[in-house]
Amino acid sequence: MDIIQHNFKISKVNREKVKNQKACTIWMSGLSGSGKSTIANQLETFLNELGYHTYILDGDNTRLGLNKGLGFTEEDRIENIRRVAEVCKLMNEAGLIVICSFISPFEKNRTQAKEIIGDNFIEIFIDADLQTCETRDPKGLYKKARAGEIKDFTGISSPFETPSNAIALKNNTQEDFDRNVTFLVDLIKNNK
């Protein structure tokens, strides 16, 4: 192939300096209903109020556009996470803080995302027990999975591999939620 990467005058460091922040990707994984999207939304709200430049990438939203047409086979799940990681890398190069909310159930996929994104990758495991997730069940997916209407559903008929190198945040109660958001805001503030 005759593809050559171009280097431009303005670097990530220049973009970070203008934004007065250190770019990073907060990669949140966990079961459906664990609270990833809710935490991401509140985290971005607080960071925005503090003047940070952020963007949320959410599993459902990316599957409506960028990853439209990908299913839930192992190959499609790998490609879904790979594409998202490439977008995170670009957004980090733009000096942005990216907040990701993806089930990303397999260690090998999270490892691949970290390899693509690089040192800007901060892995967070939103640890809510299965019973809590099923009780929340905001989309009715667990009920469908238990009835056999959804195959390969993470936590029911497909495994979730607990991250081995992530910061684990319990998220079973409102107190947990509040503490988790505060922890993540402080993490960003201290990311120099």
Assess whether 164 carries a catalytic annotation: no
What single string gives the DSSP state of each residue in 110-172? HHHHHHHHGGGEEEEEEE--HHHHHHH-TTSHHHHHHTTSSSS-BTTTB-----SSSEEEE-S
Q: β-strands 54-58, 97-101: how paired?
A: parallel
Overall fold of domain 15-189: Rossmann fold (3.40.50)
Instruction: Write out pLDDT tens, residues 2-56.
Output: 888 888 899 999 999 999 999 999 999 999 999 999 999 999 999 999 999 999 9
Task: List the catalytic residue out of 101, 104, 157, 164.
Answer: 104
Report which secondary-structure segment, H or E, holds 55: strand 54-58
Q: What's the rounded Cα separation, in Å, for the pair 177 and 42?
A: 10
Instruction: Write out pLDDT tens, residues 118-167.
Output: 999 999 999 999 999 999 988 899 999 999 999 889 999 999 999 999 99
- pTM for this entry: 0.94
Domain chopping of the chain, boundaries: 15-189
Instruction: Return the sign of the alpha-carbon dihedral for residues 49, 54, 58, 62.
Output: positive
State residue 72's pLDDT score. Answer: 83
